[in-house]
Structure 1
Amino acid sequence: MDHELKRVFASLPQMERGVAKVIGGDPKGNNFLYTNGKCVIIRDINNPAIADVYTQHAHPVNVAKYAPSGYYIASGDMSGKIRIWDTTQKEHLLKYEYQPLSGPIKDIAWTEDNKRIAVVGQGRGKFTAVFLWDSGSSVGEISGHTKRVNSVDIKQTRPYRLASGSDDGTAAFFEGPPFRWKLQTKENKGFVNCVRFSPDGSRYAAAGSDGKIAIFDGKDSETMIASLGGDQAHKGGIYAVSWSPDSTQLISASGDKTVKLWDVASNTAVTTFNMGSEVNDQQLGCLWQNEHLLSVSLSGYINYLDKNNPDRPLRILKGHSNSVTLKYSFLTPTPRYWDAESGESDGFCGKGHSNQVSKMAVNQSGQLVSCSMDDTVRQTGLDKKDYGASDVVKMDVQPQWVSVGPDGYVVVVCINQLVLLKDGKRVFTLGDLDYDPTAVAVHPANGDVAVGGSDRKVHLYSIQGNTLKDEGKTLETEGAVTDTVYSHDGAFLAASDDKKAIVVFTVAEGYAVKGEFYAHHAKVMCLAWSPDNEHFASGGMDHLVYVWTINDPDKRNKISDAHRLHHISGLAWLDKNTLVTTSHDSCVKQWTIKF
């Protein structure tokens, strides 16, 4: 057996209210990049379904920027470490690693000759550094700021100039190299969130929390050329600006839920893009890349802006920005669905769960059955993808697992409780169990119910009308059960546990052991049967995915580092040769399995 990564359904940027998100652009115009947790996400700007993920940082990454050559990317994390890595090879080999600051890096800038890098952020009395990319040797000192530095940029024409913006309310200007302080300006009345030079180097913009965008001369900074829109370009704080390729215009992203397109020479807002009215519509980042105008909302949505229709983006990239599990389950209050061919994603409409969704399944009627930490179970039609008030079933205690069966039956595992639902209504509760239930599977045809427990046993029940009957039979496992799954034809039951083992039982033979499967180095987290019922997949805390052959435990397909940073949290088969995996890296991956 063999496998191949077919597609990465990339996560969105991880956003924080009131904090700017830097979006980097490929100088060749092909890609853009952003960060989520410990990942750097690279996406094709024309076809964002094409994505790549860099996962080598040990701490959450704040910013990543392409070198002007396009051959390298520098990324900085919360620990103050910067990694410079190759973009031309699939492995993204590390070129250099440095520790210029002792705290979070907020922004990065390269000189146009690819030789020098400036980083800013927060550290123990040191907020900035400028160094040679291939040795780490200092090439100047960015001094003068007294608080965290949020933004930095370097003029991409000679003579080089450097600008920085800080929480101390000043924008500083430096000549070099080696870079040395020349002057500071205090045109902004609050935090300076973003400074950016125009591509031709003639001007630079400083934007801040006071809603003001000040434009300065890019060569000496002694002259403020303009204040876009007067004293206030936006009614809210401005978090990012990005210049047009011809240096005549720029866009600005604001907490007032708008993006504005400015003509700098005339000091006028040519277009105002109204992005919505909700808190999540605040705009915290932007990028002007060739003909593409992008902005990032607090929700993490990436908007492709349309100059001809400012109230409706050309497209909106949606997806996950938090931890993900599958079958079909997502650790967010709102489930998302993906088109496996186009890579497009969207969410359900209406008022859904108010807390983390723990588990999901799809029943024979095409309904998504979900349980949540808000103590409810919901059944929502996949055709409408719209939550309704009548879809909710309230549980006595927190539900943790759901499994669907034929004829409208659903079994819910709650804390020390099993609950039976029929056609969306609660019909039976079995409480005061003498074990802690951890997982459940309902047979696709005969009404058997297998409940895994922390007592290293699978407990068998049967659905009889509107009741759940204890059959008084248990199946032994090596450890606390982490998942139980019946094959699609009902012939087999697979159970995984926290002792790295998987046991498969033959249903027709009174649940006799069919085989035992060992290979994981840590707890097995999830299982999924392939449509042919001859193979199943397992995912573990060891970041490994195995595809097993039921009749030969030694015949297996190993996917190493399926999700390098986190354990495998979910598995699902689209067809007998296509496996989907999820993890807490917020990404979904699609694999082609060859038998």
Structure 2
Amino acid sequence: MGASNRVDGGFAEYSGHTDNVFAVAWSPDGTRIASGGRDNTVQIWDPLSGQHFLTFRGHPTCILALAWSPDSQYLASSCTSGLVHVWQASTGTIIHTYRGHVRFVRSVSWSPDGTCIASGGDFGDNSVQVWRAFDGKQLYTHSQYRVFSALWSPSGTRIVSSCFEESVQVWDAMTGDKQIEYHGHHGPVYATSWSPDGTRIASAGHDRQAHIWDAATGQQLCVYREHTHFIKAIAWSPNGDFLTSAGNDTILQVWTAETGQRLVAEYRQHQSWIRTLAWSPDSTIIASASKHTVHLWPWQHSRY
């Protein structure tokens, strides 16, 4: 599949997809971006030039989530039919297909040591399933109603998961035993993000709020209230200084992680809802997707 890239006023736009993009993931080495969505493809491309490297067509239905392995060699991708593929990023060769879910798999996350994957299922199985990345052996299932997000902690010892119900759970990554349950939101919690040092968690959802809370105690630290519609994506900058959030109000907002109170900058180039976003590993660029395009925003805090 061909892809195009244009730069307009410093903003790059990747338009290789033919339908809505629901997932964007930056490779840990910073050299590639993977994006996937309703056209049933995952596309890998160069974030600097927009050059298209590879199109993966292994899914029969819409792509919902993507995650790179820590060594940037493999990708895990999930779709609405319940499949999770693990495949080689350089060739598109499928290493393993995990079939433990029934339908919509909205989240995939690699363990920091690259050995396991946590995948979160929405309709049908209502669970986070933890399994070995390269042979699919299931280690355990953590039950939760309609899972939207499941992310491994930076230390690899815990997983945070959010769901259609108001709660966010933090649990032991080895056993699945629940440690903390956060109840600060009102309505479904669509997205979560760990701080790079693993001490805090950001969560956001249907109530138009983003919360920062203590990952060890569940104590709420601050609430960000600048969005006017549902928040569908949130991500901590790798340097730990900022959070960015976006959703149905079409505006990408960057705000201070220390206090959670100060809006630092906004990106208003999207014309429709935003479902996914990702920081570059060096915290200088933000990728976000709306409809069938992915925008790259060269973020430099010194400009604001």
User: How many angstroms apart in 2 are the aligned matches of 1:72 and 1:283?
Assistant: 26
Q: Any stretches of 5+ residues in structure 1 without a counterpart?
A: 10-49, 323-583, 588-595
User: What is the aligned counterpart of 2:177 among 218, 223, 226?
Assistant: 223
Question: Is 1:195 equivalent to 2:150 in the alignment?
Answer: yes
From the superposition, tell whether residues 54 and 221 of structure 1 become closer, same or farther in structure 2 (CA, over 3 Å).
farther
- Stretches of structure 2 that go unaligned for 5 or more consecutive residues are 273-291, 296-304
In 2, the alpha carbon distance for the partners of 1:76 and 1:315 equals 27
Q: Paired residue for 2:287?
A: none
Contact residue 34 and residue 44 of structure 2 kept, 8 A: yes
Q: Which residue of 1 aligns with 2:223?
A: 272
Is 1:139–1:179's contact at 8 Å kept on the other side of the alignment? no
The superposition leaves residues 221-255 of structure 1 with CA deviations (integer Å, 9 ceiling, x where unpaired) of: 43222222xxx231111110011111111100121
Displacement of 1:130 in angstroms is 1.3
* Preserved CA contact (<8 Å) 2:152 2:160: yes
- Deviation at 1:206? 0.8
Distance 1:129 1:198, change over 3 A: same
Per the alignment, residue 182 of structure 1 pairs with: 139
Gap change, CA 1:312 and 1:222, over 3 Å in 2? closer
Question: Is residue 2:20 matched to residue 1:60?
Answer: yes
Instruction: Please say if residues 262 and 268 of structure 1, whose CA atoms lie closer than 8 Å, have aligned partners that are also in contact.
Output: yes
The higher relative CO (CA closer than 8 Å, separation ≥ 6) is in 2
1:282: how far off?
Answer: 2.4
How much has 1:119 moved relative to structure 2?
Answer: 0.5
Deviation at 1:184, TM superposition (A): 1.3
Q: Note closer, same or farther for the CA distance 1:149–1:7 as it changes in structure 2 (3 Å cut).
A: closer
Which residue is 2:233 aligned to?
A: 285
Q: Are the aligned partners of 1:142 and 1:181 in contact in 2 as well (CA < 8 Å)? A: no
Which residue of the partner structure matches residue 303 of structure 1? 253
Q: Residues of 2 paired with 1:64 and 1:70: CA distance?
A: 13
1:69-148 matched pairs, under 5 angstroms: 69-88=29-48, 90=49, 92-123=50-81, 126-148=82-104
Q: Structure 1 residues 216 and 586, CA, compared in 2 at 3 Å: closer, same or farther?
A: closer
Corresponding residue for residue 261 of structure 1? 212
TM-score by length of 2: 0.80
Query: Cα deviation per residue 1:49-100 (whole Å; 9 max; x = unaligned)?
Result: x421112223332222111111111111212111112234x2x322222212
Q: Which residue of 2 aligns with 1:204?
A: 159
Q: Distance in 2 between matches of 1:131 and 1:309?
A: 40
Relative to structure 1, the CA distance from residue 182 to residue 311 in structure 2 (aligned partners, 3 Å threshold; closer, same or farther) is same
For 1:73, the aligned partner's letter is I
Given residue 100 of structure 2, which amino acid in structure 1 is its aligned partner?
G
Counterparts in 2 of 1:320 and 1:61: CA distance versus 1, 3 Å: closer
Amino acid at match of 1:296: A
Name the SS of the counterpart of 1:314 in structure 2: strand
- State the distance in 1 between where 2:111 and 2:258 align: 31
The amino acid across from 1:113 in the alignment is D
Q: 1:541-572 CA distances to partner (integer Å, 9 max, x unpaired)? A: xxxxxxxxxxxxxxxxxxxxxxxxxxxxxxxx
One-letter amino acid of the structure 2 residue matched with residue 284 of structure 1: K
Task: Compute the displacement of 1:176 (Å).
Answer: 3.5
Assess if the C-alpha contact under 8 Å between 1:271 and 1:307 holds in 2.
no
Q: CA deviation at 1:161?
A: 1.4
Counterpart of 2:8 in structure 1 is: 8
The answer to whether the 8 A contact 2:170-2:179 is kept is yes
Q: Does 1:166 align with 2:116?
A: no
Contact 2:153 2:198 in 1 (8 A): yes
Residues 110 and 117 in structure 1, CA contact (< 8 A), matched pair in contact too: yes
Moved more, 290-299 or 138-147: 138-147
> Which letter maps to 1:247?
G
For 1:63, the aligned partner's letter is A
| Contact 1:210/1:237, CA 8 A, preserved across alignment | yes
Q: What secondary structure sits across from 2:40 in the alignment?
A: coil
Q: Which residue of 1 aligns with 2:283?
A: none
2:13–2:294: 8 Å Cα contact kept in structure 1? no
| 1:132 counterpart letter in structure 2 | Q
Q: Say whether the 8 Å CA contact 1:101–1:122 is kept in structure 2.
A: no
Per the alignment, in what secondary structure is the counterpart of residue 94 of structure 2? coil
CA drift of 1:281 comes to 2.8
Distance in 1 between the 2:86 and 2:293 partners? 31
Contact residue 237 and residue 255 of structure 1 kept, 8 A? yes
Contact (CA 8 Å) 1:157, 1:200: kept in 2 or not? Answer: no
State the identity as a percent: 21
Please list the CA deviations of residues 282-308 of structure 1 after superposition, one character each: whole Å capped at 9, or x if unmatched.
222111002111111421111222356
Distance apart, 1:207 and its partner CA = 0.4
Deviation at 1:151, TM superposition (A): 0.9
Quote the Cα distance in structure 2 between the aligned partners of 1:132 and 1:216.
30
Contact 2:17 2:293 in 1 (8 A): no
Amino acid at match of 1:263: D
Distance 1:293 1:170 in 2: 27
Q: Any idea what the Cα deviations from partners look like across 1:398-430, whole Å, max 9, x if unmatched?
A: xxxxxxxxxxxxxxxxxxxxxxxxxxxxxxxxx
* 8 A contact 2:15–2:294 mirrored in 1: no
When residues 308 and 236 of structure 1 are mapped into structure 2, their CA distance, relative to the original with a 3 A threshold, is same
Aligned to 2:271: 321
Judge conservation of contact 2:14–2:293 (CA < 8 Å) in 1: no
- The 5-angstrom pairing of residues 518-537 of structure 1 reads none
Residue pair 1:65, 1:75 contacting (<8 A) in 2 also: yes
Q: CA RMSD in A?
A: 2.5
Cα pair distance change 1:173/1:306, threshold 3 Å: same
CA distance in 2, matches of 1:8, 1:182: 48
- 3-state SS, counterpart of residue 76 of structure 1: strand
Letter in 1 for 2:266: I
Aligned residue identity for 2:28: P
Q: Normalising by the residue count of structure 1, what TM-score does the alignment of the two structures yield?
A: 0.42
Segments of 4+ in structure 1 off by > 3 A?
306-312, 584-587
Count the aligned residue pairs. Answer: 268
Is 1:246 aligned to 2:194, yes or no? no
Larger Rg: 1
Query: Following TM superposition, by how much is the alpha carbon of 1:7 offset from its aligned partner in structure 2, in angstroms?
Result: 5.9
1:155: which partner in 2? 111
